Structure formats: structure tokens, C-alpha cells
Amino acid sequence: KSDSDTYSCDIGDAQSRAKLTVQETPVLFKQELQNEEAKEGKQVRLTCELSKPGTPVKWMKGDTLLYASEKYEFKQHGTVAELIIRDVKSVDA
């Protein structure tokens, strides 16, 4: 998308211009989240894979946006996004 702009070819006495518009491809899930089971007090890792590296990800529990804390850790490496939930309790289900 950042390559979108007006480009020109200059030969001194004349110039030719063209506008390039780059359409972004939508981000898709290559691998979706999978259901998990865990014993209380353990750690759970939820992982998904996206079609584009570096895509911003928001993690939510129900309708609540999650923030990084001692309880929740977010990792993102290339196309893989992970949510780590520490010390799971029944309320985390």
C-alpha cells in the first residue's frame, strides 16, 4: 500500500506520469483458534496464524478487551499470534 503514489519518467524535454494504486489484500486466518481445556492453576496458550505478518491483533474475552498483565501475555512472531493465560481459574472459561 505504501507504494501507492504518482510515478514519472523524465527525459528532459518531456515527462510521462502515471498513478499507481495498490489494493491491500484482506488479512485472513490461516489457522484459527482451537478449543482448549486446562486444570486450574496451569497456563494456557491460545494460538492463531494470520495470512499477513505484523497484522495488529486485539485479544478479547467475550466482549471485554484484554490488556497485557501478569495474567495475560501477548506474543506475535511473523504471522503467528499467541495469548498466554497464566494461573487459569474457572472464571477464565
Q: Does the residue 5 lie in any domain?
A: no
What's the pLDDT at 57? 95
Q: Does the residue 69 lie in any domain?
A: yes
Q: For the chain, give the percent of residues with pLDDT over 90.
A: 91
pLDDT tens, 36-92? 999 999 999 999 999 999 899 999 999 999 999 999 999 999 999 999 999 999 999
What's the pLDDT at 7? 96
Range of the domain at 76: 29-85
- Distance from C-alpha of 70 to C-alpha of 16, rounded to nearest angstrom: 58
CATH number at residue 70: 2.60.40.10
What's the domain count of the chain?
1
CA angle at residue 77 from 74 to 82, to 5 degrees? 35
What's the pLDDT at 13? 92
8-state DSSP, 52: S
Q: Does the residue 70 lie in any domain?
A: yes
Q: Does the residue 21 lie in any domain?
A: no
Instruction: Please report which confidence band the pLDDT of residue 24 belongs to, taking 50, 70 and 90 as the band edges.
Output: confident
Q: Does the residue 46 lie in any domain?
A: yes
